[in-house]
Copies of this chain bind each other. A is one copy, B any other.
């Protein structure tokens, strides 16, 4: 098992898939000559040339639609949207074309595009560069949404996304590109559906995805060390569809659930996981499920404001403990 960074894992997946299939192409702003803002496509331009590694104009809806159209006839575009904030501009082609074409053509056409984009809050990038849009993509029928929490997933999810017949949105994170982790040396394809138990536990389940998985893991350590609470951590690497069975399995075991999301609460991952728990295993609950979310504000630039706008490990611990202090249901 080689240690590599998140961006290196994404780059490796690109490279392998482009070698495997001449119709796999990469496109996006500054991904070619410049090698990509986060280096995810570094060196590919030199290796595969301008026809397959395409520096696009600043035309998000246009080049996303272009990738979708190319995918109609067998091309497998991996589209990088430099920051998820710019995806607001491309939602028309993603929602109206990519996600609906299979259905409205009665199965004749499909749009096997991969759209990758960093979708978290980094450091002081301000309101227009700090949106978290996973909730928007999860609401679009016909689109798959995955979000890697480590280099192994970043590699394996992109590999499978490229091969899959469906359009897949991959929600990455600006703060994770330099994260190190193990990636198997042998080629592999990560499942696009399901969830992963990142830590076994008995007392409460902490649900996270992408960066928040790491907050959950750190919180779990503190909960064990300082509060004797044994938390299970579930990594929801597939946000659409969500792994109903995996969610139920864990809650049926721990009887308590905390969903940790980097985004604001309204109509988000936390709400959807809570809804699934209510629908699938309400009677397993010993306490109300709760969500730890960002404040419902555009993200401020100033550091002290930004810090409190986004959830942190301390909050996860503290909010989780309320489940044990609060009166039991029966």
Contacts and interface: CB of A to CB of B under 8 A. Distances in A.
A139 B128 contact: no
Interface residues of A, number: 51
Contacts of A96: 85, 88, 128
A271 interface: yes
A100 B129 CA distance: 11
Contacts of A301: 104
A103 B127 contact: yes
User: How many of these chains are in the complex?
Assistant: 2
A268 B99 CA distance: 18
A246 interface: no
Contacts of A325: none
A288 B85 CA distance: 36
29 contacts: A61-B89, A85-B96, A89-B91, A91-B91, A100-B127, A100-B128, A103-B297, A103-B298, A104-B128, A136-B139, A139-B263, A139-B264, A139-B266, A141-B298, A142-B298, A266-B272, A267-B268, A267-B269, A271-B271, A271-B272, A271-B274, A274-B274, A274-B278, A275-B275, A275-B291, A278-B289, A279-B290, A279-B291, A283-B329
Given A139-B267, A279-B291, 10 more contacts: A88-B92, A103-B298, A139-B263, A142-B297, A242-B266, A267-B267, A271-B272, A274-B275, A278-B290, A282-B288
